[in-house]
Structure 1
Amino acid sequence: MDETVYLYKGEVFYFKDSPLKFDESYSYYPDGALVVYRGKIIEAGAYENIKERYPEALVTDYSGKLLMPGLIDSHIHYPQSEMIGMYGKQLLDWLNEYTYPTEEAFGDSEYAGRVARFFVNELFRNGTTTCMAYATVHKESVNALFSVASEYNMQMLTGKVLMNRNAPQSLMDTEESGEADSRELIEAWHKKGRNLYVITPRFSITSTHGQLISAARLHEEYPDTYIQTHLSENRNEIDSALELSPECSDYLEVYERAGLVTERSVFGHCIHLSDSECRRMAEAGAIIAHCPTSNLFLGSGLFDMQQANRINIQTTLATDVGAGTSFSLFRTMGESYKVQQLNGYPMSVFESLYKCTRGTAKALKLDDKIGSFDQGRDADFIVVDSTATPSQQMRKDYLERKGKWNLENKLFGIQTLGDDRNIVATYVAGNPVYQSDTCNHQKTGM
């Protein structure tokens, strides 16, 4: 066990609570320090107040850079890493032409492991330290992703996709085999290290009512697992789902009848929800993962954040790679801002960033472990350069001349113009897992 106390110097920023509820929702220390011991946050605050308490600490100086909690991606498909940015389809055709043929290869453990390693390292390069990921129908795909994440002691949430209809035969399980395979994977991986299992029916079009019920039965047996699926992403998807379930008055009812709408259920997209569906989701404590780059890329529609906020649904931001067009949650935040502008809602950067950090941690019942710099949290954090590109530097120079270079404008610039180039370093459980080529920091003993 490493007994070194590490002190990281820089601009420390993290959320204390939701900016939708409190004006003083965050802590910001322009000359700050973050103290880490045995992979946990010991303290965060002003450098001058902290430095004397840790005379033996190993100091890493990131002065002029932002130290923030690692980003959390609540909806992403790791097997689709290699098919990102494929041309010209909407959801259902896109699944048939691109997604399913790509996922067929993941029964090969070596292949799955290779893609899983790329995926995890790409997350780190973009500042993402935790994700809730879809695997494929194959057990090998789940084993591969949990195995790679475990090497880094990463907080990983994933699970085997369940599909027993309306998919290629090579990608279908059965109600019985899907439940048995999922149970085997839960026993092997759930709560082993920082791994958490997610019961994963892809969506109701590819799972019979019986399979959805078996997924709910698994969750009852293992109540601290999670559930993830898709809901109301595309108009044709909704029509197809209701044709297959004519007894249901709306799409959400398909999942309600199976017992899958819970406080540990994450529903991807949710673009075309009625107020009734929103209210029922809020009452159940269910979670929406808003995926703006994917929704725009597939022409699915514009998610209404005002509606979700008004009804008080827990809402997070997510990349949805590979229909999503970037692993960067900064770019995702920027696209979400544009979507909400089209809806007449100028979403603040504080709301966006909260929904990629502490807000997501809180929604996933992981607020006591990740998402902030509160004492005892796992030391998952990123170092961010707000002026990594010439354009960003010019913007800063202009704002400084106008006396407007403040925290909000700094963060908004990262959201609007930022991507992986702004990530200087990524730390998981106190260990560096990524450093950019331009990273130049000093280490000293105090």
Structure 2
Amino acid sequence: MEDLLIGQTLAFAADPFAEGPEAARHVSRGAVLVRDGKIAVTGDAVTLRAAHPDARVHDYGEALISAGFIDAHMHYPQTGIIASWGKRLIDWLNTYTFPEEMRFSDPAYAAEVAGRYFDLALANGTTTMASYCTIHPESVDAFFTAARERGLRAFAGKTCMDRNAPDGLRDTAQSAYDDSKRLLEKWHGVDRLSYVITPRFSPTSTPAQLEALGTLWSEKPTCLMQTHLSEQHDEIEWVRSLFPDARDYLDTYERFLLLGPGAVFGHAIHLTERERDRLYEVGASLVHCPTSNTFIGSGLFDMAGLMAQGQRIGLATDTGGGSSFSMLRTMAAAYEVAQLRHVALHPAQLWWLATQGSARALRIEDRVGNLMPGMEADIVVIDLASTPAIAQRATRAGDIWEALFPTIMMGDDRAVRAVWVGGKPVAPAERT
């Protein structure tokens, strides 16, 4: 059976950072035909409805139909501590993160939090996510089990730490390699799941552990590798003290074979020129986490400069250092951070970052992140008049961007009218 989704549609034929807003393809009364879990055809509603009279019709009126959001960097174990008060990065880890992550040795607790996280993410229109788990293999099993039950495309890995962490949250170089390899072989490529090799960051891994994980990545190059890079100045100084022979922060990964096309670096705010050039040269990905960067006072990501250089950049909530599960709120924060750097990001650029940009960062842009034929049917339907404040602003709009921007800046889960995953409607239930 085919499903025909009708409403305004938004897709991208190119990168709006390179081509401008004209890279977007907006149809004011468009339609998306879904068949066998994929987008079969897109076009205008009248034509597709006539061509497919037996399809089940889902008419969303003036709502916007888009590819689902992709959260390229988050920590599902921090779901319960989101919006914890008043700490910088290292204090935040010690005060909130590490005590909470200790609890994930309990499979039942891990499963409970994983289910809660996915319900919150889906309610906000996020259909693909890349998560750090904890050092406990049980936390990885819980995440992937919950994602598989919901039919999601999801990325995750066991977080590896063998120093500068409390008792109960440290593994070893050997156990990090062994556990990661076993989990990788168990989950990578199962349905829509992908394993990611995951050293937390250089300060919590000895050179021996980084070397072991670099070896594993060399053995399993189809996986991604995710970690953190240059989030705060005091973190960078800490790295310098721990790796006195390294040229810079990036070199603490590069020297252990943890730099390459599948590397995904969260934050990347305070980069040196060598780091920027080397990241571009190897085709690594950077992930902007704006609500986190402002919440814990990390700094202002150089979106314009890095995009001008041709870097591969995604967008992320960084739950729970980030202060929202919503990619709408994350887009708004990205806009605000760019404004502080005297750059006004266009709504087309913000939307692209949360969909196709994040898909590129995770190297799945040929599968998700765009409303095009052949793509997996992960779709979000956005009400562009979800609250009175947004509605009164949207009525003044002269084009799609003026109509969409108020939802980017003021929208929340109330704007998410429907979510489709793998061609099937899921929570939240369709709202009328």
Contact kept? 1:73, 1:317, Cα under 8 Å: yes
Query: Aligned equivalents of 1:236 and 1:367: distance in 2?
Result: 35
* 1: CA distance, partners of 2:388 / 2:48: 34
1:377 to 2:370 alignment = no
Partner of 2:234: 236
Q: How far 1:27 moved relative to its partner? A: 1.4
| Contact preservation (8 Å) 2:13, 2:25 | yes
1:328, 1:36 → 2: CA distance? 25
2:39 is aligned with 1:5: no
Asked if 1:428 corresponds to 2:421, the answer is yes
Give 1:434 shift.
1.5
Amino acid at match of 2:340: L
What's the offset of the Cα at 1:220?
1.3
Which range moves more in the overlay, 283-292 or 355-364? 355-364
Q: Structure 1 residue 87 and structure 2 residue 80: aligned?
A: no
Letter in 1 for 2:332: G
Q: Map Cα deviations across residues 276-305 of structure 1 (whole Å, 9 max, x no partner).
A: 211110111011111111011101111111
After TM superposition, where is structure 1 displaced by more than 4 Å over at least 4 residues in a row?
none
Kindly provide the amino acid, as one letter, of the partner of residue 352 in structure 1: L
Q: Work out the percentage of aligned pairs sharing the same amino acid.
A: 41
Q: Is the 8 A contact 2:194 2:223 kept in 1?
A: yes
Partner Cα distance (1:53, 1:219) in 2: 48
Alignment match, 2:260: 262
Deviation at 1:435, TM superposition (A): 2.7
Identify the residue that residue 444 of structure 1 maps to in structure 2. none
The code of the aligned residue for 1:426 comes to V
Q: 2:126 aligns with which of 118, 125, 128?
A: 128
* CA–CA separation in structure 2 for the residues paired with 1:293 and 1:60: 34
Deviation at 1:436, TM superposition (A): 5.1
Structure 1 position 416, deviation (Å): 0.8
Structure 1 unmatched runs, 5+ = 441-446
Q: Report 1:26-425 matches (<5 A).
A: 26-397=24-395, 399=396, 404-425=397-418
Tell me the CA shift for residue 363 of structure 1: 2.6
User: What's the secondary structure of 2:73's corresponding residue?
Assistant: strand
Q: What one-letter code is carried by the residue in structure 2 that aligns with 1:109?
A: P
Query: What is the total number of aligned residue pairs between the two structures?
Result: 431
Could you tell me how far apart the structure 1 residues matched to 2:273 and 2:402 are? 34
Describe the SS at the equivalent of 2:417: strand
Corresponding position of 1:443: none
Match of 1:18 in 2: 15
2:320 maps to amino acid: G
The alignment yields a C-alpha RMSD, in angstroms, of 1.0
1:356 is displaced (CA, Å) by 1.0
Conserved? CA contact 2:356–2:368, under 8 Å? yes
- Cα distance in 1 between the residues matched to 2:217 and 2:321: 28
Instruction: Name the SS of the counterpart of 1:87 in structure 2.
Output: coil
The 2-side partners of 1:430 and 1:32 are apart by 17
For residues 322 and 416 of structure 1, the distance between their equivalents in structure 2, rounded to whole angstroms, comes to 20
- Distance in 1, Cα, partners of 2:94 & 2:361: 32
Determine if contact 2:218/2:257 at 8 Å carries over to the other structure: no
| Residue-by-residue CA offset, 1:362-385 (whole Å, 9 max, x unaligned) | 232212210112222110001100
Structure 1 stretch 102-111 or stretch 45-54: which is displaced more?
Answer: 45-54
Residues 374-424 of structure 1 show CA distances to partners (whole Å, capped at 9, x for unaligned) of 222110001100110010111123x1xxxx431111221111111111101
SS in 1 for 2:393: helix
CA contact (8 A) 2:5 2:60 kept: yes
| TM-score normalized by the length of structure 2 | 0.98
Shift in Å, 1:154: 0.3
